[in-house]
Amino acid sequence: MSNPSLLILPGDGIGPEVMAEVSKVIQWLGDKRGMKFDVSEDLVGGCAYDKHGVPLHDDTMAKAQEVDAVLLGAVGGPKYDNLDFSVKPERGLLRLRKEMDLFANLRPAQCFDALADFSSLKKDVVAGLDIMIVRELTSGVYFGEPRGIFEEGNERVGINTQRYTESEIDRVARSAFELAMKRNRKLCSMEKANVMESGILWREVVTEVGKDYPDVELSHMYADAGAMQLTRWPKQFDVIVTDNLFGDLLSDLAAMLTGSLGMLPSASLGSPMENGRPKALYEPVHGSAPDIAGQGKANPIACILSFAMALRYSFDAGNEAERLEQAVNAVLADGLRTADLLGEEGVQPVSTSEMGDAIVAKLEASL
């Protein structure tokens, strides 16, 4: 039986630095747990544009379609700000999501006990927080037509179209219900049915899908009210399902409840392949942070936890995923902090590589 395959796309900025720490974990799993991966590496984003003139080469796209999972670091940077929109680094990531048909974006917001004081909210509001936002990823206003900047009379007008089909809403809703069944059987759907026809359709379809999941408690909330409730009492939620635009906004808001974007992973899942596993792309929520690239200041935890999600959802290795998450928790409990998490008294500042080494040491101690 062949080893599971993994395509690594470190990307730009701090991407290569945080991905190097994931490689240490992959090496440890092979050496100590007998879990071998067929790992290949390629370019995406600005570095791909520098070499190929496009943010994602066709050959790389073909590889991504063939492997069991893709792990991506980050894309972009000020060097590429003046490029034509069609070849900006972010277009490489969007192409991966679109052509792999990764329609369900899973973004957990979990507050580790050691970081409860680091959130901008009161400790009792965020301590023990563990929610999951499921964001529709391949449709909605980011992809709808017509779109563009047009001349209208004597001025320009920018147009983006919010568009959803019943089938697009149905499949992401089912992903969210399935996830809720494995958690606390509680799902909140968020849209703007009070002012948007797409929101009305969203609510109707999610309600209809809910009839197939009678054990899941389904509620509906307007997305702006959801943002307010996330900052008031986030622990009222377990799984949230929402569209592409609102999911982008709400998941970033939820991310900051935990104290740092450097802590948060994500998974983008599509339809099952022949082996039954979903097509999948895993990436940290944070960006390329070009201002600290190459300085050893980046927090690798979000990228490492993204790999933990890959272990759970793509490689049927939930026990190893939990082992890795517990190692991260143990390192934080010991007071080790990268630059984004400094501010508390009595913590120990560490570099990107030192954080990765400490997590591998905790994995070793877990045996």
Residue positions annotated with a catalytic role: 142, 192, 224, 248, 252
- Is 84 annotated in a binding site? The answer is yes
* Angstrom distance (rounded) from CA 47 to CA 63: 17
- Is 30 annotated in a binding site? The answer is no
- Is 59 annotated in a binding site? The answer is no
- Is 186 annotated in a binding site? The answer is no
- Is 295 annotated in a binding site? The answer is yes
- Is 177 annotated in a binding site? The answer is no
Helix, strand, coil distribution of the chain in percent, nearest 5 = 45, 20, 30
Q: Are strands 265-272 and 278-284 parallel, antiparallel or unpaired?
A: antiparallel
- Is 80 annotated in a binding site? The answer is yes
**Greatest CA span in the chain, whole angstroms?**
70
- Is 297 annotated in a binding site? The answer is yes
Where would I find the H helices in the chain? 15-33, 46-52, 58-66, 89-99, 123-126, 166-182, 197-210, 223-232, 244-257, 301-313, 318-333, 352-365
- Is 117 annotated in a binding site? The answer is no
With tokens 């307010």, the residue in question is: 228
- Is 85 annotated in a binding site? The answer is yes
- Is 299 annotated in a binding site? The answer is yes
Q: Burial, 272: exposed, middle or buried (Cβ in 10 Å; 0-12, 13-18, 19+)?
A: exposed
* Angstrom distance (rounded) from CA 256 to CA 234: 12
Residues that constitute the known binding site: 77-90, 97, 107, 135, 224, 248, 252, 287-299
Residues that constitute the known binding site for NAD(+): 77-90, 287-299
Residues that constitute the known binding site for Mg(2+): 224, 248, 252
Residues that constitute the known binding site for substrate: 97, 107, 135, 224
